[in-house]
């Protein structure tokens, strides 16, 4: 989430071309792809908890990915709106992967997690942050969500 953390996600993108008063932000959304194989990205949520005291904070994004051929994986990029990034489906093929666990032959629950330190928070852009995601099926079908979730980082 800091520039250092986002940079790890952005390295692949560049190669190719919030906190509320209580310190917690959660968002949810559903996105479906119009591909022939009906790859879906549903039941998404993002949870950001700021570090406090001696405890580190965290960012966790979860999504349910489904396709009749099975799920190959989920790529995730977390980025500040102030960066004006606007990632494409092609660019998301080169960012960090979530960990996916099958729940059925056609569906997996995917989770992307980051540890957030006080130093990270000091370097973070304040304001709105987005989560972009690209789900890929075993048969090559995709579901792309350029802004599948948002949260705010307070100043």
Q: In sequence order, what DSSP letters do the residues of 18-84 get, joined into one string? A: ---TTSEEEEEEEEE---TT--EEEEEEEEEE--BTTB-EEEEEEEEEE-TT-EEEEEEEEEEGGGT
Q: What is the pLDDT of residues 39-62, one digit of tens each?
A: 999 999 999 998 888 999 999 999
Report domain extents, the chain.
3-153
Determine how β-strand 24-32 pairs with β-strand 40-49: antiparallel
pTM passes above 0.85? no
Q: How far apart are CA 68 and CA 70, in angstroms?
A: 6
Domain at 3-153, CATH class: mainly beta
Q: What is the pLDDT of residues 80-89, one digit of tens each?
A: 999 999 999 9
**Which of 16-30, 41-55, 91-105 is the least confident region?**
16-30
Q: What is the pLDDT of residues 116-142, one digit of tens each?
A: 998 988 888 999 999 999 999 999 999
């Amino acid at each position: 989430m800091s520039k250092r953390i986002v940079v790890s996600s952005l390295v692949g993108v560049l190669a190719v071309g919030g906190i509320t008063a209580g310190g917690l932000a959660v968002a949810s959304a559903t996105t479906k792809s119009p591909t022939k194989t009906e790859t879906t990205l549903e039941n998404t949520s993002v949870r950001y908890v700021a570090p406090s005291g001696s405890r580190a904070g965290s960012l966790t994004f979860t999504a349910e990915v489904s396709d009749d051929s099975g799920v190959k994986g989920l790529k995730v990029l977390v980025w500040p709106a102030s960066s004006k990034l606007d990632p494409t489906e092609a660019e998301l093929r080169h960012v960090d992967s979530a960990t996916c666990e099958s729940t059925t032959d056609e569906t997996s629950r995917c989770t992307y997690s980051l540890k957030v330190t006080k130093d990270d928070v000091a370097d973070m852009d304040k304001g709105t942050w987005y989560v972009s995601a690209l789900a890929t099926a075993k048969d090559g079908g995709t579901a792309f969500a350029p802004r599948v979730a948002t949260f705010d980082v307070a100043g």
